[in-house]
């Protein structure tokens, strides 16, 4: 997995307090963190009618990296399934316990156009299933079926997260195939290797990007 980080150019003169005489002493906001993650490998065992198992690969937006921590993670990947560190387990094998209050919702747009968090839309995993629904056309991807048999991200689908620390991130999945080929071939290109862009809001209580 490779990660490329850049700092989004923001004005750092916004104050966190009310309009009082103390505003001039307020700490400036930290700039948004914009990153690209490539080839996050999240394999599963089984599938295609066989029981599914295998560890989920956990990711922490605050550190911008995979983690093996049992508590400090926000989203986890296995095959085409994504779960969050909030709510309850869905009942699948080898699933990590939820130890925080992370949540997620899906919206249409782009990373640039999604500029504010809609807190009322957040969902968490439950015994009925993950907050990001599985299956073609239900969550983040479509399955093309014959003859290509590809899993492709639904264009314009942005995942908005509340992290385990109560901050926010938005994520755009670009590819499910190793090295993110422009025209993937299910016969030759290995899966599941996630490539995605995301933006992390490091300022507590700030719901804008």
* Contact assessment for residue 40 and residue 197, using Cβ atoms and an 8 Å cutoff: no
Structural domain harbouring 138: 33-201
pLDDT digits (tens, 9 = 90+) for 114-140: 999 999 999 999 999 999 999 999 999
In the predicted model, is pLDDT for residue 19 greater than 60?
A: no
Residue carrying structure tokens 């911008």: 64
Q: 208, 174, 201, 209: which is closest to 74 by C-alpha? A: 201
56 inside domain: yes
Please report whether residue 25 resides in a domain.
Answer: no
**Sign, CA torsion 105/176/197/71:** positive
Domain count for the chain, please give it.
1
d(CA 40, CA 120): 30
Instruction: Give the pLDDT score at 35.
Output: 98
pLDDT exceeds 90 at position 8: no
CA dist., res. 208 & res. 201, Å (int): 8
Indicate if the pLDDT at residue 112 is higher than 90.
Answer: yes
Q: How confident is the model at residue 4 (pLDDT cuts 50, 70, 90)?
A: low
Q: Is residue 184 part of a domain?
A: yes
- Confidence at residue 47, expressed as pLDDT on a 0 to 100 scale: 82
- Say if 129 falls within a structural domain: yes
pTM: 0.88
- Whether residue 209 lies inside any domain: the answer is no
Tens-digit pLDDT profile for residues 31-78: 999 999 999 999 999 987 788 999 999 999 999 999 999 999 999 999
β partners of residue 83 = 76
Among 198, 195, 199, which residue's Cα sits nearest to residue 38?
195
**Cβ partners under 8 Å of residue 178, min gap 6:** 39, 189, 190, 191, 193
Q: For residue 78, say if its preceding peptide bond is cis, omega within 30 degrees of 0.
A: no
Confidence of residue 79 (pLDDT cuts 50, 70, 90): very high
Residue 13 placed within a domain: no
């Amino acid at each position: 997995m490779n990660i490329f980080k850049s700092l989004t150019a923001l004005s750092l003169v916004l104050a966190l307090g009310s309009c009082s005489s103390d505003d001039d002493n307020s700490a400036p906001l930290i700039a948004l963190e914009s990153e690209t993650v490539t080839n996050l490998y999240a394999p599963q065992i089984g599938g295609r009618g066989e029981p599914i198992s295998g560890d989920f690969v956990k990711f922490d937006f605050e550190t911008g990296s995979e983690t093996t921590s049992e508590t400090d993670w926000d989203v986890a990947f296995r095959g085409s399934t994504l779960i969050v560190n909030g709510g309850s387990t869905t009942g699948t094998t080898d699933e990590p316990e939820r130890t925080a209050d992370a949540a997620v919702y899906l919206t249409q747009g782009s990373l640039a156009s999604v500029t504010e968090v809609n807190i009322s839309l957040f969902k968490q995993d439950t015994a009925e299933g993950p907050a990001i629904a599985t299956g073609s056309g239900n969550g983040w991807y479509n399955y093309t079926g014959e003859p290509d048999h590809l899993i492709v991200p639904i264009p314009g689908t942005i995942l908005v997260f509340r992290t385990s620390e109560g901050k926010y991130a938005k994520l755009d999945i670009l590819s499910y195939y190793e090295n993110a080929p422009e025209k993937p071939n299910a016969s030759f290109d290995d899966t599941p290797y996630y490539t995605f862009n995301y933006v992390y809001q490091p300022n507590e209580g700030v719901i804008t990007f």
